[in-house]
Each structure stands twice: as structure tokens, then as C-alpha cells.
């Protein structure tokens, strides 16, 4: 294992911010293939995503010592690129609230967050595979899945190697062009965003599932040695498969169903109650048979917001 500081930003008020990368395999060989780059937290509240990387660093160090990384391969793990926001308990860049994951591929003479994105991207581009532990812009819990942007360069076959039941193929929106995932694909990397389901808390069960999923992927694409079970059927889903359930009134959300629950048409999902007298303002029902894919975790909900997303059941799988 090689530990390297890939970018350092000085500060007049506190210690410098350092972005640290961990390299495994043939990291000193100029002829080695840049096989896989794994990036953790781009935002300050992504504690679970940092922990995923920490556990992967420990696991890959063991695999390297045991000779289980194939010759001529290089793996890089960057646990976080936004230490300042972690230290100040802010989701976005602490000084101006910009989102580093909207600044790629970056600009070395630009604003601070553009410079950070530039230096990080220079180190993680040109890898065969790129994995980002991402979080959604809405607070809530998801069913674990792999998300890929539909750029024309997406690789659905490799996405199945993670062993998760769902791959979310999403159309590119204008603001996506500044994300790491999008730019990885445009520059020739097969990129995957790993959505574990949680963000601001440490869940050991999800961490174990995630590290085993990453290991399964690395073995399946020939970067590491090992044996994995044959691929199970993976369902490719899109935005059209999701049925949002929105609230008509603001208030407190009292969920009945949780992420992963199976529901039938008309089944009660939860209620919105008045925060002052607890009267029920709205009951929320499942629009169709399927699974609860997303639940808003904020107890305060606002008129018109989608607090549940139901994944319909009648759709094919991808081999």
C-alpha cells in the first residue's frame, strides 16, 4: 500500500486541507493498468461513504499482502475530497456552500472548489473503472443500488458484477455535466455511482454488504483473485419505473412502510399530521403494487414534496 497526498490547500486560520489517496497493486510501475479508482465523500455529511473507503483500504491492504491483486493492476481509493466540510459539519464547501460534485472536470485557475475538482480528476481519470460512493440531493433512505448516467458510454453488463438487485439508468440532466460520474464516462472510464441507502450515520450491516459488493466487482472484472457466485438477474430501472407519492399538506410525516417493504395497490404508506394538534391531514397510499424504494427521512414535510417513491413490480430484468 502506498499513501499519497494528491492535493494540499493552505489556510491562514487552521491546518492545511490534504486530500489523501491510497494505492494498491503495482502502483510504482509505469506500465501497470490503472484498473479502478474509488472515491468516497465529496460532501461533508457523507460519513457512511468515508467509512466505506476506510474499510476498503483495510481490506485491500490485506488482499495485497496475500498476493490477491493481479499483477499489472493498480487500485486507488480516495476516502474524501472535502475534509473542510467534514470538519465544520457542513454538507457543501464550508466557505461558499458550493458543491464540489458539480465542479468536475475542474479548472486549475478557477475557484477553490474548481481547483479541488481539477486536481482530484487529474488523479482519477484514465482508469478503466471508476466507483463513487454517492448520496442523493434529497434527505432520505434508498434501497441499495448502482446508478449510471445514460451518456452513450454506460456499461450495464459490468454493473451487474456488483451483485446488487437494481441498476438505475438515469437520463443526463443539465447539472449532471459537472459531476464526477458524468466526466468519468466522457473521458472513457466506466463509471458507477454506488448508492448504499444511508448517508449521515454508520451502519455496519450496510458497510459489510458494500465492501463485499466492491470485492465481488473487483474479482469479476479480473482485478483481484477470488471466487464469486454466478451473477443473479439484475433489474435495470429508470425514472419511468418510479412512482412518487407526494404530500398535499405540510406537517409531520409518520411513516408506516420502510425502505424495501413490499406494498400492494392502496396500502397505507404513512400519514401527515398537524404538528400542533396531531390531527391527520393526509393518509398516503401506494399507487401500485411494488416495493418502497425511497422514504424521506425528514420528519417535517412540505406541500408538494415527494416523500415516498414506489418501484413498480411488472418490469423485466437485465441478464
Same domain, 290 and 213: no
- Is 58 found in the same domain as 18? yes
Q: Confidence band (pLDDT; 50, 70, 90) for 220?
A: very high
280 is a domain residue = yes
pLDDT in tens, 116-158: 999 999 999 999 999 999 987 777 788 999 999 999 999 999 9
Cell of 284: 398516503
Report whether pLDDT(255) > 90.
yes
Residues 6+ apart with CB under 8 A from 245: 269, 284, 285, 286, 287, 306, 307, 308, 309, 310
Query: 172 and 209 share a domain?
Result: yes
Residue 56 has pLDDT above 80, yes or no: yes
Say whether pLDDT at 317 is over 50.
no
pTM above 0.85, yes or no: yes
Confidence (pLDDT) at 200: 74
Please indicate, yes or no, whether residues 253 and 306 belong to a single structural domain of this protein: yes
- What pLDDT is attached to residue 313? 82
- Select the more confidently predicted residue: 246 or 30: 246
User: Judging by DSSP bridges, how do beta strands 129-133 and 190-195 pair with one another?
Assistant: parallel
Judge whether residue 318 has pLDDT over 50.
Answer: no
Does 119 map to a domain?
yes
pLDDT at 140: 78
In the block, residue with C-alpha cell 458539480: 102
Q: Is residue 164 part of a domain?
A: yes
Q: Which three cell numbers stand for residue 104?
A: 468536475
pLDDT for residue 132: 97
Average of per-residue pLDDT values in the chain? 92
Can you give the chain as a three-state secondary structure string? CEEEEEEEECCCCCCCEEEEEEEEECCCCCCCEEEEEEEEECCCCCHHHHHHHHHHHHHHHHHHHCCCECCCEEEEEEEECCHHHHHCCCCCCCCCCCCHHHCCCCCCCCCHHHHHHHHHHHHHCCCCEEEEECCCCCCEEECCEEEEEECCCCCHHHHHHHCCCEEEEEECCHHHHHCHHHHHHHCCCEEEEEECCCCCCCCHHHHHHHHHHHHHHHHHCCCECCCCCCCCCEEEECHHHEEEEECCCCEEEEECCCCCCEECCCCEEEEEECCCCCCEEEEEECCCCEEEEEEECCCEECCCCEEEEEEECCCCCEC
Residues 184 and 255 in one domain: no
pLDDT range class, residue 101, cuts 50, 70, 90: very high
Is 318 within the bounds of a domain? no
Q: Is residue 317 part of a domain?
A: no
Cβ 214 vs Cβ 131: under 8 Å: yes
Over residues 176-206, the pLDDT tens digits come to 999 999 999 999 999 999 998 777 778 899 9
Residue 12: pLDDT band with limits 50, 70, 90: low
What is the domain range of residue 169?
Answer: 2-235
pLDDT in tens, 257-315: 999 999 999 999 999 999 999 999 999 999 999 999 999 988 999 999 999 999 998 54
Among residues 173, 206, 235, the one where a domain terminates is 235
- Pull the grid cell for residue 163: 451483485
pLDDT, residue 23, reads 98
Q: What is the mean pLDDT of residues 13-38?
A: 92
pLDDT given for residue 319 in this prediction: 32
* Cα–Cα distance, 279 to 231 (Å, whole number): 49
Q: List the beta bridge partners of residue 141.
A: 295
Domain co-membership, 143 together with 183:
yes
What is the domain-level CATH number for residue 300?
2.40.50.100
- For the chain, what is the domain count? 2
User: Per the omega criterion (within 30 degrees of 0), is the bond before 2 cis?
Assistant: no
User: Is 319 contained in some domain?
Assistant: no
Give the pLDDT of residue 231: 72
Final residue before a domain boundary, out of 201, 235, 269: 235
**b or e along 18-53 (b: 16 or more beta carbons within 10 Å of the residue's beta carbon)?**
ebbbbbbbbbeeeeeebbbbbbbbbbbbbbbbbbbb
Say whether both 72 and 216 belong to one domain. Answer: yes
pLDDT of residue 316: 41
Q: Is the dihedral of CA 262, 268, 273, 279 positive or negative?
A: negative
Are 130 and 157 contained in the same domain?
A: yes
CATH, residue 51: 3.40.630.10
β-bridge pairing 17-25 and 2-9 = antiparallel
Alpha-carbon torsion 79, 81, 86, 87, what sign? positive
Indicate if 229 and 279 belong to the same structural domain: no
Q: Is 49 part of a structural domain of the chain? A: yes
Which of 235, 266, 286 is the last residue before a domain boundary? Answer: 235
Amino acid at each position: 500500500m502506498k499513501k499519497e497526498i494528491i492535493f494540499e490547500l493552505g489556510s491562514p486560520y487552521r491546518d492545511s486541507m490534504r486530500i489523501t489517496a491510497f494505492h494498491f497493486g503495482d502502483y510504482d510501475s509505469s506500465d501497470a493498468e490503472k484498473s479502478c479508482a474509488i472515491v468516497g465523500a465529496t460532501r461533508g455529511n457523507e460519513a457512511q461513504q468515508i467509512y466505506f473507503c476506510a474499510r476498503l483500504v483495510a481490506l485491500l491492504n490485506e488482499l495485497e499482502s496475500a498476493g490477491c491483486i493481479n499483477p499489472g493492476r493498480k487500485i486507488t481509493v480516495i476516502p474524501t475530497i472535502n475534509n473542510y466540510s467534514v470538519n465544520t459539519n457542513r454538507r457543501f464547501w464550508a466557505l461558499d456552500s458550493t458543491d464540489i460534485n458539480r465542479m468536475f472536470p475542474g479548472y486549475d485557475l478557477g475557484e477553490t472548489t474548481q481547483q479541488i475538482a481539477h486536481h482530484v480528476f487529474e488523479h482519477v481519470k484514465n482508469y478503466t473503472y471508476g466507483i463513487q460512493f454517492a448520496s442523493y440531493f434529497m434527505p432520505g433512505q434508498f434501497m441499495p443500488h448502482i446508478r449510471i448516467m445514460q451518456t452513450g458510454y454506460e456499461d450495464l453488463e459490468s454493473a451487474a458484477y456488483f451483485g446488487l438487485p437494481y441498476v438505475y439508468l438515469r437520463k443526463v440532466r443539465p447539472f449532471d455535466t459537472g459531476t464526477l460520474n458524468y466526466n468519468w464516462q466522457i473521458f472513457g472510464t466506466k463509471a458507477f455511482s454506488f448508492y448504499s441507502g444511508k448517508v449521515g450515520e454508520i451502519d455496519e450491516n450496510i458497510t459489510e454488504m458494500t465492501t463485499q459488493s466492491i470485492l465481488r466487482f473487483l474479482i469479476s472484472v479480473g482485478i483481484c483473485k477470488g471466487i464469486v457466485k454466478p451473477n443473479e438477474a439484475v433489474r435495470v430501472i429508470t425514472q419511468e419505473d418510479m412512482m412518487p407519492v407526494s404530500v398535499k399538506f405540510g406537517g409531520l410525516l409518520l411513516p408506516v412502510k420502510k425502505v424495501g417493504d413490499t406494498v400492494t395497490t392502496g396500502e397505507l404508506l404513512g400519514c401527515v399530521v398537524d404538528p400542533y394538534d396531531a390531527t391527520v391531514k393526509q393518509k398516503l397510499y401506494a399507487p401500485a403494487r411494488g416495493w418502497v424504494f425511497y422514504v424521506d427521512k425528514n420528519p417535517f414535510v412540505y406541500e408538494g414534496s415527494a416523500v415516498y417513491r414506489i418501484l413498480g413490480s411488472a418490469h423485466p430484468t437485465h441478464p
